[in-house]
Amino acid sequence: MSNASDLIKEPASLLIFGASGDLTARKLMPALFQLSRDGFLPQSCPIIGVARRTKTDDEFRAEMKQAVNEFSRTDHITDDEWATFSARLYYIETDITQQADYENLKQHVREIEVEADIKPNRVVYMATAPKLFLPAIENMSAEGMIPGRDDDHWLRIVFEKPFGTDLKSAQELTAHLSRLLTEDQIYRIDHYLGKETVQNILLFRCGNAIFEPLLNRNHVDHIQITVAEDQGMERGRGALYDASGAMRDVLQNHVLQLLCLIAMEPPALFRANDIRDEKLKVLQALKPAGTEIDEWAFRGQYVAGTHQGESTLPYREEDRVGDQSETETYVSMKVNVDNWRWAGVPFYLRTGKRLPQRVTEIAVQFKHPPLNLFTTVECDGDMCQMVEAQPNTLIFRIQPKESISLRVGTKRPGMQYQIHPVMMDFEYEDSFTFELPEAYERLLLDVLRGDSTLFTRSDELEAAWQFVTPVLEHWQNDGSGPLPYAGGSWGPDKAMELMTNDGREWRVPSPPK
Ligand code: BG6
């Protein structure tokens, strides 16, 4: 439930461009419904769907009701709750590529705002194909819908990813947009930053005295970041995915943001720009961990396999994927963060589709104790076997079953001095009774409150593209194609060598209990 400090100070209307799309139905509308239900969204904030198809407000409301029922985290939505929420939903038919449609859009939005008795403060959410970003903003500008600094009302535009497809295109998009918008009007979303457990990385580091002094090259052996998904190309996702691949879809944004949060220096103040300055420094310090790209970056594509006993299709036979597609569905890489804190500590990153389970985690593996005085055993009941000494590992489990765990060695009770590795676990569901909010709830509320802390700044975005673009170019030109891996496996064998060649191993994340 909301506190006074959480609330939106100035009501605004929220326009969703691309309101007929999947994102609106699956993520945006359920999040807005939840915000409204939990008292975060003033009743005077209209939500206006904008898209090309012809439909009435009531038809739009009916579609959104179905979507919210299907995708909301609230199990049972009462008629009253729906009536309260849907009273603020509107639909305006607009071809956002056609300048002529904007006069009607502007006028109609204003009528809704007058009716709600609010100023023309607006959030425009670009839930559209990226190629429509620029035409939409140009058309809004031509119609006088972009307020200047001296106006008494504001506009904030949220851009869904991908923001560009490489360094050059991201820079061009930023340059074009900056002719029409100021940076503080632009909110580039990376929904990972809205996840409760992702925000907790920084709070855990800076809100406890005992861990932060250990997070550096003196104590840490290496860090592994995994964003694994067991899903393939269900629900026609192949069409979009085939044009991007794992690097652009997840590594360039979600994985690098996780890396920033675990590697950055604590900011002097917990303010948007201080945090983003520190993240930027991490991205600028990113260096390949090898001379040749093929030594430190691997890509794979899944072939037929099995998942939970069911056979799975090869990527190339998935719905809306080219049968000769060379798109990577898996990426792993070893990178360095060349600064005083992290010099010499490798960061191993991996992400992929059709892996054995859906799991996102950061594992910080500490160095072994300087001297091994004891034998280490792992026991199942009374049956124990000697194993290699296990280093301490701090694991941030971002999803599912959000938790933070620390592996420590403890004496196995008995007549001998034997170490047994055990886990100290904090699980959200044991300590907090309330459900974790969805990422989009937090992010939509932040845009309405004008807080850009959890959004990506243009220099951060460009630094991330700068790092991955040479790899993408190399893959595009080298002609070798992605390495095959069986659906339901942890990726191509060759990619495992990234770790085994260093005498290390990828963690096998424990499946949810
Ligand atoms: C999106 C990617 O950004 O993140 C998808 O485009 C991916 O391909 C999704 O499935 C994963 O998000 P989450 O929140 O389910 O981990």
Three-state SS string over 273-305 comes to: HHHHHHHHHHHHHEEECCCCHHHHEEEEEEECE
- Cα(237) to ligand 1 centroid in Å equals 11
Query: What pLDDT shows up at residue 13?
Result: 97
Give the pLDDT score at 414.
Answer: 83
CB-CB neighbours of 80 under 10 Å: 8
Q: Ligand 1 centre from 194 Cα, in Å?
A: 13
Look up the pTM and report it.
Answer: 0.93
> From atom 6 of ligand 1, which residue's Cα is the shortest distance away?
249
Look at residue 4 in the predicted model and tell me its pLDDT: 45
Which residue is associated with the tokens 């034998």?
Answer: 375
CA 249 centroid distance within chain: 10
Quote the tokens at residue 509. 């994340």
Closest Cα to atom 15 of ligand 1: 229
Residues with pLDDT less than 70, the chain: 1-7, 511-513
Distance CA 495, CA 283 (A): 23
Active site residue 420: no
Residue nearest to atom 2 of ligand 1 (CA): 249
> What pLDDT is stored for residue 6 in this prediction?
61
Q: Which residues pair with 425 in a beta bridge?
A: 405
Q: Report the atom number in ligand 1 closest to the C-alpha of 227.
A: 16
Give the distance (Å) from ligand 1 centre to CA of residue 198.
Answer: 14
pLDDT at position 3 is 56
Amino acid at 421: P
Whose alpha carbon is nearest atom 9 of ligand 1? 250
Question: What integer pLDDT is reported at residue 386 of this predicted model?
Answer: 84
Q: Considering only CA atoms, which of 196, 337, 181, 184 is closest in space to residue 259?
A: 337
Which pair of tokens denotes residue 99? 């300048």
- State residue 513's pLDDT score: 61
Distance between Cα 248 and ligand 1 center (Å)? 12
Candidate list 254, 307, 368, 420, residue with the active-site label: 254
249 lines ligand 1 (CB under 6 A): yes
- Label residue 290 left, alpha or beta by phi (over 0 means left) and psi (-120 to 50 means alpha): left
SS3 383: strand
Atom from ligand 1 closest to the CA of residue 254:
3
Give the SS3 label for residue 448.
helix
* Residue 388 CB neighbour total at 10 angstroms: 9
Among 34, 30, 49, smallest CA distance to 88 is for: 49
Is ligand 1 within 6 A of the CB of residue 229?
Answer: yes
